Amino acid sequence: MKAPAFWDDTAARSSAALTRTLLSPLGALYAWMSAYRIATTRPAPAPAPVMCVGNLTVGGVGKTPVAATLMHRAIQKGLKPAGLSHGWGGRLDGPLRVNPKRHKASDVGDEPLLLARFAPVYVARQRPEGAKLAVHEGAELIIMDDGHQNPSLTKTLSIVVVDAVTGWGPGTIFPAGPLREPVKTGLARADAVIVMIPEPDYQPDLAWLGLAVLDIPVLTAWLAPEVAPPSGPLLAFAGIGHPDKFYHTLEAAGGTLADTASFPDHHVFTRTEIKQLTNLAQSYSATLITTEKDHVRLPGDVKDSITAWPVRAAFKNPLRLDALIDQAMDSHSNTR
C-alpha cells in the first residue's frame, strides 16, 4: 500500500490532523485486537532458536536487509540459519521451502525470494509448521522476517527495526497512522532495537525515538551498496515502503538520477508499466534500475533488461549483532 498523506506528521494542512483524529477510534480497536490476540495466544514451542526481525509500523524500514545480514553473520559463525516468512503477497500457504528457480513472487512473496539467495527460506501461514520443516531439513537458527505482532511461535529474541528519519510517524495507530501497536507496548516485548540511519555518519535522535532510556541493546545500521551503481544517467523506480531511501542511497553512492518513478509497497509490475518505464528511460538515454526486492516481482521476460541494485544492512559494530546471535543460541539451549 502507499502511505496516505495524513500519516505525515510534518504536513502543514490541518486536515491531516483532523483525519487522524477521526480515524483514531478505528486505531484504538486495531490496537486492542492485536493486544488481545497476543495476550490470549499460547505460542507453540520453537524447535530451534528464533530471532524475529520485526517493526512497529506498516511499511518498509529495512527488516529484510537486516534479516539477510543476520543470515550472513550466522553462516560466518558456522551455523545453519533458515529464514521463515508468512509469504505476504504469495498464493501458497506452505509450509514449503522457497525455490528461486521454480517459485515466483506471486507464489511466495518478494521478500522470501530475496532472502532465499542467502540461505534456505520457508514460507508458512502457520509459522510453527514452517519452523518444524526448517529444523527437519537441518536449520539450527531461524530468522523470522516480520512477525513481532504474531504470537503463534515462541521467539527466542525479538528485534524491532525503526527508521531514524521517519521514526514512528505521527504516533497514531493504523489506519489513523502507520503504527501497528503503541510504541511503548511494542518495545516492551523487544530484546533489541536496530535504528536504520540514512548514512554512516548520521547521528539518530534516540530520545525522540523513545530509545534513550531503554535497558536493551540499541544498534545502528544503514543500507550499503554491494556494488557501485552503473555509470551514466539512471531512471530509478521502486515499489517499496520508502522509495526515497533507495534513490538517496543511489545518489550517495555516486549514481546520477535522470528521473524516478515510485509505486506502492509490494507493487506487482505489469508489462505495460515496464514498457512505459522503458520508453521514459530511452528518452533520457538512461539505464533502468530498481531494488533487488522489486526485481523479483518483474515479469520474467523483462528482468534481464533491468538492473537490480543490491544493498545490504551494514552495522557500525557488527560484533554486537554477533552477540545477539550468541544470546539467542545460548538462551534456547538453556530452556531445553
State how far the alpha carbon of 263 is from the alpha carbons of 56, 145, 165, 182, 187, in Å. Answer: 22, 22, 20, 28, 30
Average pLDDT over residues 256-261: 95
Domain ranges of the chain: 50-164+190-198+217-223+314-335, 227-309
State the alpha helices, DSSP H only, in the chain. 14-40, 63-76, 105-108, 110-115, 127-136, 183-188, 243-252, 271-284, 292-295, 318-335
The reported pLDDT for the residue numbered 62 is 86
| Helix 318-335, helix 63-76: angle, nearest 10 | 80
Q: Is the pLDDT of residue 13 over 70?
A: no
- Fold classification of 50-164+190-198+217-223+314-335 (topology level): Rossmann fold (3.40.50)
Query: Residue type for 329, please?
Result: M
Please give the mean pLDDT across all residues of the chain.
91
Query: Residue type for 293, please?
Result: K
- Tell me the per-residue pLDDT of 164-183, one tens digit each, with 9 for 90 and over: 998 998 889 988 888 999 99
The reported pLDDT for the residue numbered 29 is 93
Q: How far apart are CA 168 and CA 335, in angstroms?
A: 34
- Tell me the per-residue pLDDT of 82-132, one tens digit each, with 9 for 90 and over: 999 998 888 999 899 999 989 998 999 989 999 998 999 999 999 999 999
Q: How far apart are CA 283 and CA 114, in angstroms?
A: 31
The reported pLDDT for the residue numbered 9 is 66
Q: Is the pLDDT of residue 14 over 70?
A: no
pTM tops 0.85, yes or no = yes
The reported pLDDT for the residue numbered 266 is 82
Average pLDDT over residues 266-272: 89
The reported pLDDT for the residue numbered 240 is 86
Nearest to 65 by CA among 124, 142, 133, 117: 117
Average pLDDT over residues 26-50: 93
